[in-house]
Each structure stands twice: as structure tokens, then as C-alpha cells.
Copies of this chain bind each other. A is one copy, B any other.
Amino acid sequence: MKVLWLFAHPDQRSLSGALKTEGLRALDAQGHRHRVSDLYAMKWNPVVDAADYAHDPADRLLIGEASERAYTDGHLAPDIRAEQHKLAWADTLIIQFPLWWYGMPAILKGWFDRVFVKGFAFGITDPATGRPQRYGDGKLAGKRAMVITTAGARAATLGPRGVNGDLNDLLFPLQHGTLWYTGISVVPPLLVPGADRMTPTAYATAATRLRERLRTLPTTEPLPFRHQNSSDYDDELLLHPDLAQLPPPRTGPAVHYTAPPPPVHG
């Protein structure tokens, strides 16, 4: 694998930092190559702004248009271009973060806001069919991604009946709405629960699971998200009603999978 490892924690001495070191060491030992975007260490700017697109602030900022033009003309901010080049190099994206308010830390959300510009990650049309390429199709198709997240909660509270909601549902905007949207296949997330009361035994278990998930990453079955450009969705991009009712009965994000995803373990 050629891995781009996105990392978003302010302290290298954290559990997150230890797991990152563990993971990179495992990739080395397994003969893979990696590059790291350690967003705090890089002092990554997460805020989309006109300056990203060499846009004249006197003119109204239409973000889609401005970003697409800057991307096409090569005028995107250099830090954005550097990340796009890293992602182009990689075949695998690791996205590691502590779960803050059931989502990504702002510095990481802003990596996607700034790097995934129009023309690169969305707004892409298949020249042959004229159809928009997204949800399983796009310039980033062929790559895989895996989320690694640490959470204070116990694993069961991030399961189907857990008070916090199921982890795959919480990650749906990232795993489906961002990664799969751009064509990237997403393998099930790795959850490290109980992060604020980690014991040496629990850490050893987490590290073992991490090494194992990295070892099997190339052959792990991705989350079975539906393809937009399939007969599952009609011309209005609505799921066919009979598919939404398939047994077992499902509502919510689950209807956009062809089969239930594997349960998240902790």
C-alpha cells in the first residue's frame, strides 16, 4: 500500500499519538510506504476562504466556481495543492481522530472542506454519459479509506441501540457523504473506546487490533454502499421504494447499503 495517514490530535503524547506511532511502525514492518499529514503539527488552516482560490475579494465569492477555476488553472493555495498531490500518490487513506461531539475535530473537517474542491472531488461529469460521477464513482475511485477513531464512550453505546447512536451512522457524512461520494471505497471503521480510562491491557488489545486491521486492509470487504449510477436510484436520485423496504426492515443511513455493515466492535 501507499498510505496517506491523516492525523488530528493536538498532543503527540496522547493515546491517539501512541496509536499513530504504532500504526506507522506496523506499516513499515509490513513493507508498505506511507506519508503523514499531521494536521496540528503542520498548523493546518481548516478555514475555507477567498484567498484559497486567488479570488478577488471585491467580487462575490461563489465557492464552487472559484475553487474549480483555481484548481483547473493551478492557482489553488499551495498547502491545498500539496495535500491533493499526497492523496493522488496514495492508494489508501487513513483518517485518525478523537471523536469530538460525534464527529471530526474542526482541523480535520477543514482538511476536507479545503482539499476536496470542485473539479477534484465533486462536480465531475462522465464525458461519455454526461452523468455526474459520485457515490462510488469519481476521480478518486480505486482508492480505499479507513477511519480510526478514539472515543470516551463504551463501544456498546456507539452500537445500534447505544444512546450515542451507531458509529457508522455518526460517520455517515464522512464515510458516505464525503469518501464514497468521491469514489473512495471505505472499509469498516476501527473504534478504540474508553479512551479516557485506558489501561495497559486495553492499550495492548487496541494496538493488536490496529496492526491486524492494517495488515488486512487491502483485502477487507468495504462497506457495501450503493452506487448512485446503478438502478438502485431513480432519475431523481431517490432510492427505489422497494429497495428501501428490503428485509430486514431498515430506515435511515442503512437504506444506502446493499447489506447491513458488520457490527462495530470496541
Interface residues of A (CB under 8 A from B): 10-11, 13-14, 40, 46-50, 60-64, 98, 100-107, 109-110, 112-113, 116, 135, 152, 154, 156-157, 159-166, 169-170, 172-174, 176-178, 181, 196, 228, 233, 236-239, 241, 244, 248-256
Contact = CB atoms under 8 A, between A and B. Distances in A.
A241 B169 CA distance: 18
Given A40-B49, A48-B106, 9 more contacts: A10-B61, A48-B100, A48-B105, A101-B174, A163-B233, A169-B169, A169-B172, A251-B252, A253-B253
Given A10-B61, A11-B61, A256-B165, A113 B106 contact: yes
Nearest to A17: B60
B105 A112 contact: no
What's the number of copies of this chain in the assembled complex? 2
Nearest to A237: B163
B103 A173 contact: yes
* Centre residue among A49, A62, A169 by max chain B CB count within 10 A: A169
A27 B100 CA distance: 32
B237 A157 contact: yes
Contact of A156 (B98, B162, B238): B238
